Amino acid sequence: MICVRQKILTMLDMQEAMNEKVHSDWQAQNFEWYRAIWVEAAELLDHYGWKWWKKQSPDREQVVLELIDIWHFGLSLLLSGDQDKENIARQVEADLARTKKATSAEAFRLLLEDFALQTLQTRQFDVPGFASLMLAMDLEFDALYRSYVGKNVLNFFRQDNGYKEGSYIKVWAAKEDNEHLVEILDELDDSRIDFRDAVYQALAKRYSEVSG
């Protein structure tokens, strides 16, 4: 069984590896991770709904996907500092427990705006604010971990199989690779030590059956 801190460390390692795949010297590029976070927050609000002149209902699935994307950028921002990963993981574990409960739809919107404001003012990742958004969406840490690992592994798999060159096949057996990923994640135990490798191997097995 993997503890919370070890899962955070695993995600930090995976995010660092993905950033290095994008640019070998990514830390020196000073990418504006904070900007990606607040833009994703705005997209999240659109999926949640905020327009008073029309009927809207929160699209939880899309809101959660936006939270996962924010988590990718947040980890990158944390890795951009001068702390080692052990200290980052220890602090993130503590910060995830510091949450505010949204008691209504408007309270959630205000929490999201507070999160975006903190991001813009500090240009840092507001982990407690993010944890409050998770709580409001009933997104548990283990679900965050499972979804993050799956998306990260899929991104690597795409790159390894010609995504950049245009030779990658995105639809397998009449289903997009994202749909295959969801099925694979449902089949695998995310508490196993080799969860990340198991996801990649399962993707490779399915892909080989359609790509020849």
First to last CA, the chain: 36
Domain locations along the chain: 4-139, 144-211
CATH class, 4-139 region: mainly alpha
Q: List the pLDDT tens digit at each of the 212 positions of the chain.
A: 578 999 999 999 999 999 998 888 998 899 999 999 999 999 999 999 999 999 989 999 889 989 999 999 999 999 998 889 999 999 999 999 988 888 899 999 999 999 999 999 999 999 999 999 999 999 999 999 999 999 999 989 998 998 888 889 888 888 889 889 989 999 999 888 899 999 999 999 999 887 65
What does the block give as tokens for 200? Answer: 């990649």
What does the block give as tokens for 87? Answer: 């200290």
Q: What is the pTM of this model?
A: 0.88
What backbone phi and psi angles, to 5 degrees, belong to 176? -70, 160
CA 54 to chain CA centroid, Å, is 30
Residues in the chain: 212
Three-class secondary structure of residue 176 per DSSP: strand
